[in-house]
Chains A and B, each alone.
Chain A
């Protein structure tokens, strides 16, 4: 990445942090600064709008349900490319913002190899080499980049389809759909992983922070990088602290019970 791009992003993050605030409480870590969060939701909103309006045109079975949301079929057709374009622009900024942490590493290949263990929750803690983003998140990111490029090219062809050759439009039609299905598959998993599958994740995109417990569980290498502490040790210490507390409470309760006996 060129230094000018880096400078631009650093400045954008700094400027955004001046406008917005991120409150990091004790036992929490800053995960996403204001700039990233705002970008994420701009991308998300424009994506959902593109998805719904696109779905209306995609399938005759959804046409009747989804076109009224946007004010009828013709309006849906008019808005869809603009939603898409807005998505592309916002994602371009997010792309530049996240390019460095999203770079593919050897550890991501290892992560993907044990994806089955990940989906079945075999290990409670992620391997020590999982950094700011894990392999799955990086796959999703690069899938969006790929789809985004395909969307842009085929989208322009479909947008001005009366001036492009017939066969090119017909091919674009298929590729645009394939890109959408690829995105949709990732999107479903993304929403699930960001909410129900890993509690404590969603707030990282709202408040910008995560708990330290969350960090050493899901992204140990990142935890180590930002705190300088060993994630495994932190975990063990917390576990001991918790069981000590448990024991103390139980003892106290037993004491209380004993007192009640006449």
Chain B
């Protein structure tokens, strides 16, 4: 098999970076996308194992909580989790299995919230990646994320999440989870292709399988995501544990990029204001003022010279 040349991703956005992104717009990158068909997921958890394996995460204890879930939520070293939910349809029980991981938002809340220069990077191909070398461990990304994905490591004091296997994708390989999936419910390709295939699958479910509300989950409130789902019922993504209209808190958008610079400017103007107050108005001296020293008193000769025409 011929491997394609290792690819250097062009960066599109850098967290908390005060200047333009170097090299932006010099090359065009293909938008990548992961497409997950929850209707064909059997909950085998091969993707979970593949993720742990590829990313060199230690195998760890699972938590049994009366479901078919490995643990309650993803963790700093467990980026891929099949979420399990029970649902009812026409009086019949339905198991919902959804592969939960970073959604790689087009408008990433984590990146908006991050105060550390270069800790979060979004590539032109749509992958949102964390760089722990620059992470300061403040955890703002956790509250910025609408999908509860970034997780804090108490030991390293850094935050971790799914990288969409950017190391594999850069080598022309699909993410590890995709490679492991036995049912073909996971797909990887360009965003354009994945949206099309997902659309066809949703149509198929509507027309042939009686899921009239089947649809593609690609929330436009955050500009779409680079991980999309086909859901049985697109009107109720909450049943799968997905927010219907995910949003980034305005404090990380408007506040951060409008109010903060304004505050900074005002502080700067304040310093200037007191400086010019001193220059223009002068100090309040204890009264009565001490007589000025002789040298600074008006020179009588100079005064006389001015009087002359």
B279 CB to nearest A CB, Å: 10
Within 8 Å by CB of B288, from A72, A76, A235, lies A235
Contact A57 B267 (CB under 8 A): no
Contacting residues, chain B, for A189 (C-beta < 8 A)? 270, 274
In B142-182, which residues have CB < 8 Å from any A CB?
142-145, 148, 151-152, 157-158
Type the 1/0 row for B215-254, where 1 means its CB is closer than 8 Å to any CB of A.
Answer: 0000000000000000000000000000000000111100
- Chain A interface extent, by class: 35 or more
Contacting residues, chain A, for B285 (C-beta < 8 A)? 199-200, 217
| Secondary structure class of chain A's binding surface, majority of residues | helix
A21 interface hit (Cβ, 8 Å):
no
Contact A192 B287 (CB under 8 A): no
Known contacts A162-B152, A185-B270, A188-B270; decide if A60 and B137 are in contact (CB<8 Å): no
Contacting residues, chain B, for A217 (C-beta < 8 A)? 284-287
Contacting residues, chain A, for B135 (C-beta < 8 A)? 73-74
B192 interface hit (Cβ, 8 Å):
no
Contacting residues, chain B, for A125 (C-beta < 8 A)? 287
In A234-251, which residues have CB < 8 Å from any B CB?
235, 238-239, 242, 246
Residue of B whose beta carbon sits closest to that of A57: B115
Contacting residues, chain A, for B250 (C-beta < 8 A)? 170
Contact B286 A214 (CB under 8 A): yes
User: Once A and B bind, how many residue pairs between them come within 8 Å at the CB atom?
Assistant: 147
Q: How far is the CA of A187 from the CA of B261 in the complex (A)?
A: 19
Comparing A34-42, A82-90, A103-111, A116-124, the segment that makes contact with chain B is A116-124
Contact B277 A173 (CB under 8 A): no
Contacting residues, chain B, for A58 (C-beta < 8 A)? 115, 260, 264
In A136-177, which residues have CB < 8 Å from any B CB?
158, 161-162, 166-167, 169-171, 173-174, 177
Known contacts A60-B16, A119-B277, A162-B142; decide if A174 and B251 are in contact (CB<8 Å): yes
Contacting residues, chain B, for A238 (C-beta < 8 A)? 288
B291 CB to nearest A CB, Å: 6
Contacting residues, chain A, for B117 (C-beta < 8 A)? 60, 63-64, 73
Contact A199 B283 (CB under 8 A): yes
Q: How far is the CA of A42 from the CA of B145 in the complex (A)?
A: 38
Contacting residues, chain B, for A74 (C-beta < 8 A)? 135-137, 157-158
A196 interface hit (Cβ, 8 Å):
yes
Q: How far is the CA of A198 from the CA of B274 in the complex (A)?
A: 12
Contacting residues, chain A, for B260 (C-beta < 8 A)? 58-59, 177
Contact B143 A121 (CB under 8 A): no
Q: Mind listing 17 A-B residue pairs with CB under 8 Å?
A: A57-B136, A59-B260, A64-B18, A78-B157, A119-B281, A161-B142, A162-B152, A169-B143, A184-B270, A188-B271, A192-B274, A197-B277, A197-B283, A218-B286, A235-B287, A235-B288, A242-B291
Q: Other CB < 8 Å A-B pairs besides A77-B136, A196-B283, 9 of them?
A: A57-B138, A60-B115, A60-B117, A73-B116, A161-B143, A166-B145, A170-B252, A196-B278, A213-B286
